[in-house]
Structure 1
Amino acid sequence: MAELLASLTPRQQQQTEALVALQQQETHWHADLPVLILERCWLRLQSVSVADLAGVLPPDSSAEAPELVRFRELRQQGLDHFEAEEICWQEFGRLDCSQALRRFWEAQERGNHGWTFSAYLHLLERYRQQLLAEGPTPIPLLILARQGSAEHHRLQWCWP
């Protein structure tokens, strides 16, 4: 954590250390646990609750659309592209399939910096596991990628 703290302002370092110290008193998983978000360009460190994280930093769930999930399942079952597409059109309708695919493509063009629904769920699960494990409990810190860059948001853990 020393390397991470060195990149923060003195006030942010104190804020982080205080939150990490408070975290050590937690013994159960709940929605008010803190998640830190660092916007490097603005030198802004924000603490949000687990409950508010998806609202503050919405994960890209376009790949999780039921139409696309079903298409991938059919392809994994061995159906060719056209057969899988035809079945999805029958089950969901051609318009809904097209809209799901368009939303996915638009999200790919915009970029999501790796902050997908899967990454969001992974953070929550790992946080929960670390909280319930014996020993010190860290706080997750999401370091946001610079806008317009192809880099991913980075997840680090602030340990006591």
Structure 2
Amino acid sequence: MWRTGSPTQAPMDDPTHHLEGLTSRQRQGLQNLLNDLRGSLAWSWQLPVLIRQRCWLRLETIQLSELHRWLPPDGCEDAPELSRYRELVALGWSPLQAQEQCWQEFGDDDCRIALQRFWASQHDRKHDWTLQRYLAMVSRYRQSIEAGVTTIPMLVLPRSGAATDHQLHWVSDSTPPMRHTCA
């Protein structure tokens, strides 16, 4: 199921379930984090991002500026050689003409390496956290904060060996399970 309003094309879970399994201490920590964020609602790369590792029952808070080091986005799809190829095909070039042009512009070795890295990243399930997903998350986070909306992105990491992707959820005061901790 694709979730309406999702900043990414990643499948999203029902919002009532992404906080299931958190301890009362973790829920209280989330509420405190939301309260702190509400008090200083200004865009910054020091804003919090939640990382949930369900298999270890861990919920970590890192700064947005650390996310690209903690969970590096896969940029193989955005290699200049592949971007140029897609651009030429979109302009009406045949795939063969576009490929030959890219070979002339970048060299056939670089084009071949870019393709190999791309296909390897498609085969390797660890690399579903793409540059597009990362940039979309940062953009939505910034828009939310600048609009005065108190929300924190939470990345739920897939279990080892699972065929699921990283899941992105947005935690706020209106997240159903959070309402119960405010009483």
Q: Is residue 155 of structure 1 aligned with residue 168 of structure 2?
A: yes
Q: How big is the alpha-carbon RMSD for the aligned residues of Structure 1 and Structure 2?
A: 1.6
Alignment of 1:95-110 (within 5 A): 95-110=109-124
Give me the identity figure in percent: 44
TM-score normalised by L of structure 2: 0.81
Alignment of 1:5-154 (within 5 A): 5-112=19-126, 114-134=128-148, 136-154=149-167
| Amino acid of the structure 1 residue aligned with 2:116 | R
On the 8 A contact 1:39/1:143 being kept in 2, the answer is yes
TM-score normalised by L of structure 1: 0.92
Superposed CA offset, 1:80-123 (max 9, x none): 11111100000000111111111111111112463110000010
Unpaired runs of 5+ residues, structure 2, are 1-14, 174-183
| Amino acid of the structure 2 residue aligned with 1:38 | R
Q: Distance in 2 between matches of 1:104 and 1:4?
A: 31
Unpaired runs of 5+ residues, structure 1, are none
| Deviation of the 1:3 alpha carbon | 4.7
User: What is the aligned residue count?
Assistant: 159
Q: Distance in 2 between matches of 1:26 and 1:73?
A: 42
Q: Distance in 1 between matches of 2:164 and 2:16?
A: 23
